[in-house]
Amino acid sequence: MINGPQIETGQICHYKSLFLPAILKAMKDYKSLSAVQNDLKEGVITCAQLVEGYLEKEKAGRDLNIFREVFAEEARSRAVEIDTKLKEGTAGRLAGMVLAIKDNICVKGHHVGASSKILEGFESLFSATAITRLLAEDVILIGRTNCDEFAMGGSNENSAFGPVKNPLNPALVPGGSSGGSAAAVAAGMALAALGSDTGGSIRQPASFCGLVGLKPTYGRISRHGLIAYASSFDQIGPFSHTVEDSALLLEIMAGADGYDSTASSRPVDKYSEANTEGKKYRIAYLKDYVEHPGLDPEIKGKLKTIFQDLIDQGHTVEAADFPMVEYLVPAYYVLTTAEASSNLSRFSGITYGYRSPSAKDTMSTLLRSRSEGFGAEVKRRIMLGTFVLSAGYYDAYYTRAQKVRRKIRERTREILENYDLILTPTTPKTAFEIGAINDPVSMYLEDIFTVHANLAGVPAVSIPVGTHSNGMPFGIQVMSDLFEEAKLLAFSKEMNRQ
C-alpha cells in the first residue's frame, strides 16, 4: 500500500461532513494540472476535497463500468498527506493530479488482473517503475480501470467484466484496449490516466473520447510492472486533456531502468518545457492514409482543412507515399499474436490466479484453467500466435512479417529524414456502437492507422481536432522520429490550442 499518514474512519467521515456538500456543488471540471495547482495555491480547493469530488463522480457513473477497483481510502489518506506537503512547501511536481491506471499496470498491495478471469485474486507484490516515479512526485492514484482482456481489443468489449461505455454517449464504445482509462478522464473521474499502447490502445480511445493520447518511443518508458501482451510493441503512456499534462507525465516516467533492459538509457528531455519558438516545420501527410477508402469523409475533410491551415501559418505540408498500408495490420497481428502466445504461457492455473474447480491433475489443471480463464479473443490470438510459430509455418508467416516490419520501419525513417513530422488520421471513423462489429477481422482493421507507429517503434500522439456531425470527437495522429518526443509535443501543444 502507499505509505502515508493513517486516517481513522471516523476522521474521514468528519472531513466528508464538513466539506463534501459544498465541494460537490462548486468543484470545477478541471482540465489541466496547472488549473488544479493554481486553485490549490489560492486556497480554493484542497487535495482532500478534490479526491472526494472525483470519488463522487465515479460513484455517480458506475453504470459506465469504468473502474475495476477504486482506491478510495488510500486516495483520501494520500490527499491529506499531500495537503500537508503543500503547506510545508515540499510537495512534488504532480501534487493535485488524480490519476487512474489501466488494469495491466502493477501497484503494490493491489489486485491487478488485465481484466481477465485467469488472474482472479492476484495481488501485485511490487509497483511498476512508471508508478513508482509518479508517486515520488505526489500523484494520487484513484483506481484501476477496466480494459480489453490482456490489452487485446479495439473497443473495450473483450473484458471479462463487461464492456466500458463511452461517457460522451453510453451506447458507444470508448475504444480499446485502454478504454477504461480514456473513459475515466472523459467522464471527469480522474484528471489523467495511464494506458498501454501495443497497436493504438492509447491513441484510438483518445480519439473516440476527445482526449490527448500519447504513445512514446518504444523503450522510452520502462515496461517493468506492465503485464505483457507483445513485448517488442508494448508501451505505457498517458491520457489527458492537454498536451502539457501528457508531456509532464512522460518526463517523470521516462528514463533508464535496471529492471527493464529494453528501457532506453538516453537522457530524458524537458518535455514539459518544449515549445515551438516560432519554428516552421516540414510536415508530411501520408497520402495513402488520407485517401484510404475506409476513412470517414468528414474526418478526411477536416484533415485537409488542417493541412491548409498549417500551410497558411508558414509550415511546409506535403504528401508522402506509404504504399504498404495493406501490409500493416497483417504484419502487426502475426507478430503480436506470436509474442502473446509466448507471454501468456505463464498463466497456467498452477501457481497463482484462476484454477478450474474441476481440475484433477496437472494436465487437466492446465487445460481447464486456461480454457475457462481466458476469454474468446485471447484464446483466438494465442492459437493464431502458436500457429504462426509452428514448424512449417514459421518462415511463411513470422519470418515474413518481421521482414515487412523492417520495410515499414525503413520507409518511415526515410520520410522522417526529409520531414520533421508525419500527420495521419488517428482512426477511420468515430466511436461505433457497442456490439456493432462482430467480425474479428473487421475489428482488427480499426487499428489500420495506429499500428504503424508501433511497428516502426516511433512516438505518436492523437490530438482532438474536431467533432463529427454525429456529435462524437475525432483526432489527428502526429508521429516523429525515434526519441524526438520534445519536437512532437512542442508541435502538438500548438495543435491542441487551435
Catalytic residue among 57, 102, 487, 493, which? 102
Burial of 409 (0-12, 13-18, 19+ CB in 10 A): middle
- Residues 291 and 272: their CA atoms lie apart, in Å, by 34
Higher pLDDT, 1 or 103: 103
Looking at residue 276, its pLDDT comes to: 84
- Residues 494 and 310: their CA atoms lie apart, in Å, by 11
Catalytic residue among 115, 127, 177, 492, which? 177
One-letter amino acid for residue 8 of the chain: E
Cell of 422: 508525419
Quick check: 451 pLDDT over 90?
yes
Cβ neighbours of 85 (radius 10 Å): 14
| In the chain, % of residues over pLDDT 70 | 95
Sign of CA dihedral 170, 176, 177, 180: negative
Query: What are the distances in angstroms from CA 406 to CA 263, 331, 452, 454?
Result: 20, 10, 12, 12
Q: How far is the first Cα of the chain from the last one, in angstroms, to the nearest whole number?
A: 42
Partner residues linked to 460 by β-bridges: 215, 479
pLDDT per residue over 338-349, tens digit each? 999 999 999 999
| Closest by CA position to 389, among listed 397, 380, 381 | 397
pLDDT per residue over 351-374, tens digit each? 999 999 999 999 999 999 999 999
Q: Where are the alpha helices (DSSP H) in 27-71?
A: 33-42, 47-60
pTM of the model: 0.94
Catalytic residue among 201, 222, 264, 341, which? 201
DSSP letters along 440-498, please?
HHHHHGGGTTTHHHHHHT--EEEEEEEE-TTS-EEEEEEE-STT-HHHHHHHHHHHHH-
- Residues 265 and 373: their CA atoms lie apart, in Å, by 38
Quick check: is 177 catalytic? yes
Mean pLDDT over 211-228 rounds to 98
Quick check: is 102 catalytic? yes
Looking at residue 26, its pLDDT comes to: 52
Which of 28-37, 196-205, 270-279, 364-373 is least confident?
270-279
Quick check: 295 pLDDT over 60?
yes
- Residues 429 and 319: their CA atoms lie apart, in Å, by 21
Cell of 463: 490530438
Quick check: is 17 catalytic? no
Question: What is the largest distance, in Å, between two alpha-carbon atoms of the chain?
Answer: 71
| Closest by CA position to 181, among listed 63, 100, 70 | 100
Q: How far is CA 79 from the centre of its chain?
A: 24
